[in-house]
Structure 1
Amino acid sequence: MQLRENGSVNLPMIPLVLLLAFGIDQGSDYRQTELQWRQGVAEALKAEEGWLSVAGLHWLAEGETTFGTAASNGFVLPPGSGPDKAGTLTFRDGKLHLILNTGVEARIDGKPVSEADLRLDEEGKPTKVKIGSLTLTAIKRGGRTGIRVYDAKSEGLLRFEGLHWYEVDPAFRIRAKYVAYEKPKEIAITNVLGDVSPASNPGYVQFKLKGKTVRLEAQGAGDGLFFNFKDATNGEATYPAGRFLDTEGPKDGFVTLDFNRAYNPPCAFTAFATCPLAPSVNHLSVAIPAGEKNYHLVDHGSART
């Protein structure tokens, strides 16, 4: 299970096979099944490369950038996590090359390396450079290329005491009518950096909630659907920027929306994510007091600039 960062399909979401694994069994206790699913969300966040492990995001300028724990480096690794001067990253013409300083121990795919070309995440599976408790990966967002740093001893992991959820309420498991567009549309998605990118919009769902007709535009996500939405709980009770919801694909013209599984984007847990914001068409006036509540331990500051 891995939580989605980006509204485009080139980054993984919670896989549907896991949604099904924690799905509704007609012979099971609904509340217990939901609690098990929520535990899976927490475990994903605590994973070696989960969002609680993220300890840095450094955008690269064209040319050479040194890195290490010393303040004199082009980008600085978490204190005590590695060598003062670990090496140099060279970024030219969209390509990224790593050279490590003598004596620095690092591995890629379990093999020792002293230098290597690094694959960006937009190219598929990004290269993972392991240095002690750290993992470095290269990402591209809009016109920016950067290095994301994961730390198995991160402050986020050490401070984590669990997630906060509304009580499971079957009333918020809703059978919604699905309307497919004759031809899939594109919806403009803006991320927290201000980058705008198109996302596939195959249709929308419509349902009644508290006497109001509610409509949500869907994004395609493999065989399922993805909803990025805001509602009247956003602010103090739930994450201000909105929440995510994954569903199975439509069956017989309907989609089951289980808002008990509405979950926070990665930006709720780290200042070093680049999450998509809910499109304005998915800003709801109605409150949906179900699913995950706000997580208050992150100071975003200017980490993404």
Structure 2
Amino acid sequence: MAVQEIDRVGFVQRWEEWHRGHEQVLADPHGFLAITSLRWLDQEPTRFPDAPGAWSTTAEGVQVQLDQGEELVVDGAAVHGHHSFGVIAERASVYVTAGDAVIEVAKRGGHDIIRPRHPENPLRVGFTHTPAYEPDPRWSLTGRYLPFETPRPTTVGASVEGLQHVYDAPGQVEFELDGASYRLTAFNGRQPGSLQVLFTDATSGVTTYAANRTVSVAAPDADGTVTIDFNRASNLPCAYTDLATCPLPPAENRLPVPVEAGEKIPYQRLHG
């Protein structure tokens, strides 16, 4: 076996390991596929069929009033009667237990919400895997990180109509593809120094999810070199469920060329 073939085998194996881990997170008993509803809270205490208690939001934050016999477990302690979660920060989430379910209490786009997560939700139970392009080293590109002098607040739309998100963009990533140069605005990733790039391309709405995909970029080298591996372009939760509030890419992140790599449209969207 030639060295190039050995490298390709290792490349595919590493991609397969990454994709298995990615799908395990997605299919977690209390992951996004387990969400049964998205509830927008207001000052009127309201009961919902998939969560105990009457929920509301006030100047003091999210409140719940539990009836006799109802219980939530918050930070390991059983809660009865009235409980205040306080003011929740934008994009933060608090997770509490109700029997075998988990209730996510969160703020998105300035609005307080709850999202009950039930392991028996048919979307989760029926999930098998997400289709994807075959991994190909040609889609693992070497690029350059171009930091802004100061992070730029960037407003983007959301998968929920009328909702907006604001992120601080630390810079852009620049790369070449088929002889043309492109720059994409990057947001901060989950790991310190890493980056997250939301994008669409000419496959969006054809073979890949129309609204967005995302690719993680490891922290730049000392000279700003980055690797943008579009084989690891993945769907956000909104590709699977309408109960997500995922951000949309900035306008400048809409690539005019097809990126035939990474995850495709989930079966759930194709057949349901």
Taking structure 2 as the reference length, what is the TM-score of the superposition? 0.87
Aligned to 1:14: none
Structure 2: which 5+ runs fail to align?
1-6
Kept after mapping to 1: 8 A contact 2:172/2:183: yes
Aligned to 1:199: 167
Q: Distance in 2 between matches of 1:44 and 1:165?
A: 17
Structure 1: which 5+ runs fail to align?
1-25, 67-74
Cα distance change on mapping 1:106 and 1:205 into 2, 3 Å: closer
Give the secondary-structure state (helix, strand or coil) at the position aligned to 1:174: strand
Kept after mapping to 2: 8 A contact 1:136/1:149: yes
Pick the aligned partner of 2:181 from 213, 221, 237.
213
Give the secondary-structure state (helix, strand or coil) at the position aligned to 1:101: coil
Instruction: State the Cα distance separating 1:220 from its structure 2 match.
Output: 2.3
Instruction: State the Cα distance separating 1:271 from its structure 2 match.
Output: 1.3
Cα distance change on mapping 1:226 and 1:216 into 2, 3 Å: same
Mean Cα deviation higher: 187-196 or 168-177: 187-196
Cα distance change on mapping 1:206 and 1:60 into 2, 3 Å: same
RMSD, aligned CA: 2.4
Give the secondary-structure state (helix, strand or coil) at the position aligned to 2:171: strand
Instruction: State the Cα distance separating 1:186 from its structure 2 match.
Output: 2.6
Kept after mapping to 2: 8 A contact 1:133/1:153: no
Aligned to 1:59: 40
Is 1:231 aligned to 2:201, yes or no?
yes
Q: Distance in 1 between matches of 2:224 and 2:214?
A: 22
Aligned to 1:22: none
Q: Distance in 2 between matches of 1:102 and 1:180?
A: 55
Give the secondary-structure state (helix, strand or coil) at the position aligned to 2:37: strand
1:97-246 map, 5 Å:
97-115=63-81, 116-119=83-86, 121-122=88-89, 126-193=93-160, 194-221=162-189, 222-246=192-216
Mean Cα deviation higher: 171-180 or 193-202: 193-202
Instruction: State the Cα distance separating 1:278 from its structure 2 match.
Output: 0.8
Taking structure 1 as the reference length, what is the TM-score of the superposition? 0.78
Aligned to 2:4: none
Aligned to 1:44: 25
Cα distance change on mapping 1:236 and 1:27 into 2, 3 Å: closer
**Percent of aligned pairs with the same amino acid:** 32
Instruction: State the Cα distance separating 1:120 from its structure 2 match.
Output: 5.8
Task: Name the amino acid aligned to 2:64.
Answer: L
Aligned to 1:95: 61
Instruction: State the Cα distance separating 1:217 from its structure 2 match.
Output: 1.4
Aligned to 2:224: 253
Is 1:263 aligned to 2:198, yes or no?
no
Kept after mapping to 2: 8 A contact 1:119/1:125: no
